[in-house]
Structures are given as structure tokens and as C-alpha cells.
Amino acid sequence: MQKLPIFLSLFVFIACNSSNSNNLNKIYEKEILPKVDVAANLKSLNISLPNLNKPLANYVHSVRVGNLIFTAGKGSTNSDGSLYTGKLGNDLTVEQGQEAARLAGIRLLAVLQAELGDLKKVKRIVKVLGTVNATPNFTEHSQVINGFSDLMVAVFGERGKHARSAVGTSSLPKNLAVEIEMIVEVEQ
């Protein structure tokens, strides 16, 4: 049986000790994931969060379970309130898809703002599912969803980096270009 390297053994020991595990999490959050001024970042990006409309069907914008928020999928809207529609690989370029993903991200930030009252309560963007309305031959789904991911990092710094899936589909509601949902860790 091969022995674990000393640093890995020490990490496993610390992680298994519950009181030390909490300390390790605090160190990680403080040193690796420093707080950022979210309001200042939004201002520097010239982003104002939109008002949320009532959901179009029998669902809610978000559900909070403990310190996690699960959002409903959000598409993107243009500045005039119209939906950003079209199929990647046919109607839209990758760059237009990235803009659609960025705009969907702004709507999701509005969901978090409504749920939390203040975006500085976001500890980490944990997981993202980005769905792209695409032709069968389109293969740049991850590039499209980068429009969302880049926005989260610009707003939250390292706390905005997340695990992610980017998938294509043959259609989305109302011909949306993208639909994105996320799981977010927040302060208790």
C-alpha cells in the first residue's frame, strides 16, 4: 500500500477534524476568495439590475435551501425589454450568443438581489447550467456560455468562478438564444 504524501495526509487529517475543517473553510474563504465590492464592480461595468417580472408560469425565480439558492432558468432580454432570440449556428454568431449569455447573467443577478437584498451576501457561484439554442452542427456551446461566466468573475472576482455545464438544445421557450440557471452559496 502506497503512503500518502505528508502534505496530503495533513490535509486529510485537518479536513476530517470538524472544528479544524471550519477553520480551514474560513482561511480558504478569506485568503483564496477575498470579498470584493460588488456594487462598485457593477457600476464600473455600467450595469444596473432590471426589475423582475412575475414568472410566466407556475414557478418562482429562486428557492433558498439553507445557505444555497437555486435559481430558475433565465433567458436574456435586450435593453428595450424584448427577448434576445435566435438559434446559434443559424441566426446568431458566437459573439451574439455571448452577449445573450451575459444579459441572462444580469437577469440572474437581479434574482439574487431580490432574494438577498444585497449581492455582497453571495459567498460563491457554485454551479451553472447554460443551455444554448443551437443547430445540430453547432459546437461552440462553451464559448457562448463564457459570456455568463466572464460576467460572474467580473462582478464577484474569484467567488464568481464556478463549476459549469454548457449544453445545446434544438429549441428553448419563446426561441430564447440561451437559458441559464445557477446554484449560489450565500451567507447564513
> What CATH number is given to the structural domain containing 54?
3.30.1330.40
Q: Which domain holds residue 17?
A: 1-32
Q: Which sign does the torsion angle of CA 16, 18, 23, 29 carry?
A: positive
| 130 lies in the same domain as 76 | yes
Q: Beta strand 68-71 with 122-133: parallel, antiparallel or unpaired?
A: unpaired
pLDDT at 1: 47
| 26 lies in the same domain as 43 | no
In Å, the largest CA–CA distance within the chain is 64
pLDDT at 20: 55
CA proximity to 136, closest of 169, 165, 166, 167: 169
| 7 lies in the same domain as 42 | no
pTM recorded for the entire structure: 0.83
pLDDT at 168: 97
Residues of the chain short of pLDDT 70, as ranges, are 1-33
